[in-house]
Structure 1
Amino acid sequence: MLNKQLIYLILGLAFVIAIPIILNVFIFDTEPTDSNSDSDDGKKIYWGIDSASSAGKDVYQCVKDNFGQPGVWGRYIGDKEDVSTGLSADEAEFLHEKDVRILVIYNHFTDATGYDHGVDEAKHAIELAQKLEIPDGVAIFGDIEPKFPVDSAFMQGWSDTLTESAYEPGLYGVFDEGSAIVKAYNATESKMRENTVIWTAYPQEKITTKENAPEYNPQGPEDALLYGWQYAIESDKCKIDTNLFKNEMLDYLW
Structure 2
Amino acid sequence: MGYVWGVDSTQKVTKELYDCVLKTFGKPEYWGRYLTTVPNASQGLTSEEITFLQNSGTKVLPIYNNFKDATGYRKGKVTAQNAAFHAQRLKFPKGRLLFANIEKFFDVDESWIRGYVDGLYSTDYKPGFYIDPVNGPFSSAYCKAVSKDSRVSNQSVLWSTLPDRGVSKARKAPKFNPTKPTCKSNVWGWQYGRNAKNCPINTNLVDDRLYNMLW
Note whether the superposition's TM-score is higher than 0.5.
Answer: yes
> What secondary structure sits across from 1:230 in the alignment?
strand
How far has the Cα of 1:82 moved from its partner?
Answer: 1.6
Superposition map of 1:128-139 within 5 A = 128-139=86-97
Distance 2:185 2:30 in 1: 21
* CA displacement 1:68-122 (0-9 Å, x = unmatched): 1011110000111121111100100010011111111000111111111101111
Q: 1:219 aligns with which of 154, 179, 182?
A: 179
* CA displacement 1:17-56 (0-9 Å, x = unmatched): xxxxxxxxxxxxxxxxxxxxxxxxxx11110000000111
How far has the Cα of 1:179 moved from its partner?
Answer: 4.6
How far has the Cα of 1:251 moved from its partner?
Answer: 2.6
Letter of the 2:54 counterpart: H
Q: Does 1:208 align with 2:168?
A: yes
Distance 1:168 1:241 in 2: 23
* CA displacement 1:195-231 (0-9 Å, x = unmatched): 0011110111111111111110101124211110000
Q: Tell me what 1:72 maps to.
A: 30
Structure exhibiting the larger radius of gyration computed from Cα positions: 1
Q: Normalising by structure 1, what TM-score?
A: 0.81
Distance 1:105 1:247 in 2: 18
Distance 2:23 2:159 in 1: 26
The number of residues matched between the two structures is 211
Q: Does 1:83 align with 2:41?
A: yes
Distance 1:190 1:179 in 2: 23
Distance 1:142 1:65 in 2: 30
Q: Normalising by structure 2, what TM-score?
A: 0.95
Distance 1:252 1:164 in 2: 17
> What secondary structure sits across from 1:116 in the alignment?
helix
> What secondary structure sits across from 1:252 in the alignment?
coil
Report 1 or 2 for greater relative contact order, CA contacts < 8 Å, sequence distance ≥ 6: 2
CA contact (8 A) 2:34 2:64 kept: yes
How far has the Cα of 1:166 moved from its partner?
Answer: 2.1
Distance 2:210 2:192 in 1: 16
Over aligned residues, Cα RMSD in angstroms? 1.1
Q: 1:231 aligns with which of 171, 192, 196?
A: 192
Q: 1:125 aligns with which of 83, 87, 90?
A: 83
Q: Does 1:146 align with 2:100?
A: no
Gaps of 5+ in 2: none
Distance 2:195 2:75 in 1: 30
Q: Tell me what 2:51 maps to.
A: 93
Q: 1:109 aligns with which of 67, 74, 90?
A: 67
Distance 2:91 2:30 in 1: 19
Q: Any runs of at least 4 consecutive aligned residues in structure 1 with deviations exceeding 3 A, and if so which?
A: none
